[in-house]
Structure 1
Amino acid sequence: MFKRMIAAGVLVLAFSHANAQMDSLKLNFDLRTRGELDNGVKTLIPKGKSAETTVASRARFGIDYYYKNLEVYISAQDVRTWGETTTTAGKNQNFILNEAWAKYQFSDKFAMKLGRQILSYDNERLVGALDWAMQGRSFDAVKAAYKINPNSRIEAVVTYNNDDNDINDLPEKEIYSIAESGEITKSLQIIHYQYTGKDKFQFSAIAMNNVLQNPSGTHYDMITFGVNAKKYFENFGFFGSAYYQTGKNTQAQSKSAYQFSFNSDFIIHPKFNIIAGTEWLSGKNYDTESGKNLSFSPLYGTNHLYNGFMDYFYLGNSYFNSFGLNDYYVKSNFKISSSSQFQTNFHVFTSNGKLGFNNVGEKYSSYLGSELDMVFTHTFGKVITANLGHSFMFAGESMKFIKNVPDPKNLQTWTWLGIKITPNFKLK
């Protein structure tokens, strides 16, 4: 299938030279490979278990075609863990169509996009591309965008999900069963407003409604409202966000949850800056009523950017609808040269909700653990980027409880090496 996609791209390229009506054609590639030594990433590794080494890769190929007011984009990708298929495999279960959409510009201010597409808003806290994960994230959606003026724009998105299984479409109920971030979303609606002002000021607001489907077939609405603001001065900047979730979740629990974050960016030197801040994501208490849900869900966010690179929280369907998280952090970035930089992040994690008591009646501490992340990045020319990362998780006693690993190793670590190659070509 991938060979057929490349062949189709070559044919389109050849056709472009013979057809004067074609405005533009772009080709892009995203080839990346990442090797990881897992000695406690995502969860605590128990004593007696050896570290695991894996290598994963992505091969993505995209064609971007423009004709007058029309843009059509198609990208396909193969994502795999090395060795998961035999060397003589006759079928490829790792190949998918990552994006396939058409965008039409009705006027200078108004455009619509239809099809499989990436949705990314603000700092990707609520909705993001999830580009750290090899597979990424994309939606089947229709999106409308309106440019109010040179400084502000508004977008609206609607999705509708089904599983193409007629057996599930019963007269009394329609069943959809794919859960993401702990919720089964039948339809998603987003309205997003963004304003860019003078002196690097940015403000945005978002409203997102998840139409959730209970296994019984009943639908509920879970609504998330949020705002983001960013402002930079000469050598200082700040960022803040706040979100609130209400309605009901998939399990028909009444939702009342919040997210709050604030940080300051101190530019010590053109090559060195320090960011200090905190983020709170609300969570349940051990004695919260079963019909209530106090846990904020960052739903489609790129969580890898936030609560530690080791991904202990809000990954896949894990830790959603749980005890929440308070994250206190200090981050620094040092530009060694025009092609190299070194990043260091330190996090202190506590639970937002009360964890309760252990089997001898002692109260669990809210302290979960601390994490240190270090990443060295070097670029070779314009299209090759190499990363070397190493992280430590210093887990507290309460982390053992929430991860259900009673006897972990004393120190959890994670080491990774990544190579990314992203050439792009523009042809007239």
Structure 2
Amino acid sequence: MQNVKTKLLNIQGFKKETNLKANLSKSIFLGLVLALAGQNEAKAQLTVTGQIRPRTELRDGQGTLQKEGDDSALFTSQRTRLNVGYTGYRFKAFLALQDVRVWGQDQSSINRTTTEANNGVLLHEAWTELILNDTVSKFQNISLKIGRQEIAYDDQKVLGNLDWLQQGRRHDAVVFKFANKGWIADLGAAFNQNKELNVGTLYNGIPPTTAGYPAGTNGIGTMYKSFQYAYIGKKFFFGDLSLLFFKDDFNKFTTIASVYTPLQGVWSRTTSGFYYKVNLTRKINFTGSYYYQGGRDKTGRVLSANLASITSTVQLGRKLFVGPGVDFLSGTDGTKPVTADSRSNKFDPLYGTPHKFWGTMDYFYVASPFGNQGLLNYFFKAKYNYTDKMTFFADVHGFQSANAISNGAGGTRTRYLGTELDLKMTYNFTKLINIEAGYSYMQATNTMASAQVKNVTNADLSPQWAYVALKFSPNFLATKKM
């Protein structure tokens, strides 16, 4: 009997020990799973992506008219970006380092004892976003975004990242962001200075000649001293509606004997207006905007100007989208003399993306000054999704001055500037690899070449432009095939 009890106790002990070992094994396994899950979660907080975008262009009058007999230009530029993002407890951080240069501008063996004027390495973005929501907040997002960042809204007509330009556009700013139930409200501000100072706040906003590009859109040539803006947007069942108020300030200056000297104080320009997108039916929508500019421009002239735009899109079948549209940007009557006290009616599209709207030949509101007489842009756009990977685009523009243009002899010129055809094709090899090719042709008028517009004598009035670009956007932490 004693032997039986002993055996039973041994069996019970063995079962307890077995269960203990089994529970211990389960605990260890569960711990490993949680640890691995934690590691995966930690990895998910970190993103490392990139972009390599070489683009070859054949320019035969792109950007401005060439003279008859001028040779075409052929070159390849490349943008290389490394993007690092991290999300932690109640904060986000993002860093984008980019290099932009033309193939061959650096010799294969660079002399490092000299400063390379064409060095294109810069910090495109570097910001942190502090999440201000608390644990009981019902709001979707309240945050403060601080540092160098892209600022883009709506269709990017007046505020955009200008992604077509290899350098892109960014701002050193602080933006308070609010989002909840379809509402978006942003408040932003920036204050620029050339360097650390002990006295005063004068700012020289003219970029150095080595920069290669003027400050701002439309060849404004002067960087803002500061800006403040408010943006409010709402998504409705019928579409989107937003309001924008933007004020940019330019340091006052004087020019004596071609010497630019900053002065105390600023001239302030205000731009206010709205953007809308209305889905009339499932296959018909309208997009439009209106903005008014007041205050003073960068030279101190009193400003009163406006922009109005409307675009329609109609879906025909499953693959074809077409629609006409028109843009109006005000200007000054070219037959009236301009004095220091004259009011300016020239609308400047702030820091937007002109390449997207006013022809890919970039004749209007891009690097070289334009707009004294304003612009009427009549256009018709078409998009055809040939396959899931290949899409074709075709745009036709008719450009006309919004005001009279003097012929310099007491009369006026025809207001019509030219007709432009823009063709583009995109093809996605994979989700990470895209190729894009385009061709543009313009039939310009003598008014376009005149001293009041482009000021090119003996101009070739049939400019053209072609390009092909490859965009590779790797995700360095991705584990799946893309």
Same fold (TM over 0.5): yes
Pairing of 1:9-408 with structure 2 (within 5 A): 24-91=45-112, 93-107=119-133, 108-147=140-179, 149-164=180-195, 166=197, 174-178=202-206, 179-181=215-217, 182=220, 183-199=222-238, 201-215=239-253, 216-232=263-279, 233-286=281-334, 287=336, 289-290=338-339, 291=341, 292-316=343-367, 318-319=369-370, 322-359=372-409, 361-401=410-450, 402-408=453-459
> Using a 3 Å threshold, how does the CA distance of structure 1 residues 338 and 186 change in structure 2: closer, same or farther?
same
Q: How far apart in 2 are the matches of 1:23 and 1:340? A: 31
- Secondary structure at the aligned position of 1:370 is classed as strand
TM-score (norm: length of structure 1): 0.90
Residue 234 of structure 1, CA deviation: 1.6
SS at match of 1:274: strand
Q: Confirm or deny: 8 A CA contact 2:445 2:461 kept in the other structure.
A: no
Aligned residue for 1:263, secondary structure, equals: strand
Equivalent residues of 1:163, 1:176 under 8 A apart? yes
C-alpha displacement of 1:424 = 2.1
**Per-residue deviation, residues 318-357 of structure 1 (Å, max 9, x unmatched):** 215x221110000000111110011000000001122112
Distance 2:440 2:41 in 1: 54
Unpaired segments ≥5 residues, structure 1: 1-15
Offset at residue 180 of structure 1 (A): 2.5
Mapped contact 2:422–2:440 kept (Cα < 8 A): yes
Residue identity over aligned pairs, in percent, reads 27
Alpha carbons of structure 1 residues 317 and 42: separation in structure 2 relative to 1, 3 Å = closer
Q: Which has the higher contact order (CA 8 A, sep 6+)?
A: 1
SS of corresponding position for 1:254: coil
Question: Is the Cα–Cα contact under 8 Å of residues 446 and 461 in structure 2 kept in the other structure?
Answer: no
Give the aligned CA root-mean-square deviation in angstroms: 2.1
* CA apart distance, 1:205: 0.6
1:23 CA displacement: 6.2
In structure 2, distance between residues paired with 1:380 and 1:427:
18
Number of equivalenced pairs: 406
Q: Distance in 2 between matches of 1:376 and 1:194?
A: 32
Opposite residue 288 of structure 2, the aligned amino acid is G
Larger Rg: 2
Q: CA deviation at 1:249?
A: 1.2
Q: Any idea what the Cα deviations from partners look like across 1:170-212, whole Å, max 9, x if unmatched?
A: 66x723223433144110111001100114x100110000112
Shift of 1:104: 1.2
Residues 76 and 90 of structure 1: CA distance in aligned 2, closer, same or farther (over 3 Å): farther
Q: Deviation at 1:362?
A: 4.1
Q: Could you state the TM-score of these two structures normalised by the residue count of structure 2?
A: 0.80
Distance 2:43 2:468 in 1: 41
Quote the Cα distance in structure 1 between the aligned partners of 2:431 and 2:111: 36
Q: In structure 2, how many angstroms separate the alpha carbons of the residues matched to 1:317 and 1:349?
A: 17
Equivalent position amino acid for 1:202 in 2: D
CA contact (8 A) 1:71 1:102 kept: yes
Query: Gapped runs of 5+ residues in structure 2?
Result: 1-36, 134-139, 207-214, 254-262
Contact 2:233 2:243 in 1 (8 A): yes
Tell me if the contact between 1:308 and 1:373 (Cα under 8 Å) persists in the aligned partners: yes
Tell whether the 8 Å contact from 2:203 to 2:225 is kept in structure 1 after alignment: no
How many angstroms apart in 2 are the aligned matches of 1:236 and 1:126? Answer: 24
Deviation of the 1:22 alpha carbon:
7.1
Deviation at 1:218, TM superposition (A): 3.0
